[in-house]
Amino acid sequence: MYRNPNRCLFLKEYADFLAMHLLPLEILVDFATTVNLLSLPYICVLNFQPKSMFPSPKIKNLPVTDLIGMKSEMSLIANKTGELWRNFMPRRKEIQNPSSTALYSIEIYPGLEYFKEFNPARIFEKWAAIPVSNTDSIPKGMNVIHLPSGEYAVFNYKGYSSQVGDFYQQIFENWLPQSGYGLANRPHFAVMGEKYKNDDPDSEEEIWIPIGK
């Protein structure tokens, strides 16, 4: 069996390596093989790529953005996201002067304490909306939301929308504590553009996390 010593990691160092690079156990490699672990205490990895499946974000400054849409109060336990979008989508074309065809899923949490003591029963506000160039005309049953300017970490998520919860967990538990940024008290949102395909493995969307120093 071919073994490249420059690609081999001693098992006792393996856990530390994973932690240092924030890698999950499912490392993305071209080839990986466990070599006779009972007698040979290392793992040999061929064509190892020192990165995880979790992408680095782009840091962007969001300008003040006006949107029109529908909102609902909910919790993670009593999640009404599906109902909200079912109500909004048939009526989205009633909105005049859209500045983009993208859909925005926005969460407004009750302060940073929401994230300090996680409670899936806590209430937050969620919006289904689209950005507009002006807010002169608001369809009945809809409201205006103003996203304030600020710095955001923007992640590209590709995959099933039903599995995005794991992606958020990686952001808050792995990326954010190591990033040098803190969470800011501004709206969180996802932007679903032309590459969004709902619950499809090839679907793509942008996840915007408010940050600050």
pLDDT band at 199 (very low <50, low <70, confident <90, very high): confident
Nearest to 66 by CA among 153, 171, 159, 137: 137
Q: Which run of H or of E encompasses 39?
A: none
Angle at CA 171, nearest 5°, toward 160 and 197?
A: 20
Q: Which residue would you say has higher pLDDT here, 43 or 171?
A: 171
CA-CA distance, 86 to 34, in Å (whole number)? Answer: 49
The answer to whether the CB of 152 falls within 8 A of the CB of 211 is: yes
Q: pLDDT tens across 96-152, in order? A: 999 999 999 999 999 999 998 889 999 999 999 999 999 999 999 999 999 999 999
Neighbours of 119 (CB within 10 A): 10
DSSP, collapsed to helix, strand or coil, labels residue 31 as strand
Nearest to 172 by CA among 198, 130, 210: 210
Give the contacts of 165 (CB within 8 A, at least 6 positions apart): none
Segment of 29-33, 38-42, 97-101 carrying the highest mean pLDDT: 97-101
The answer to whether the CB of 129 falls within 8 A of the CB of 138 is: no
Supply the DSSP symbol for 149.
P
Where helices occur in 89-163 by DSSP H, the ranges are 113-116
The full set of domains in the chain, from first to last, is 5-48 (no CATH), 58-212 (3.20.80.10)
**How many DSSP H helices and E strands does the chain contain?**
5, 12
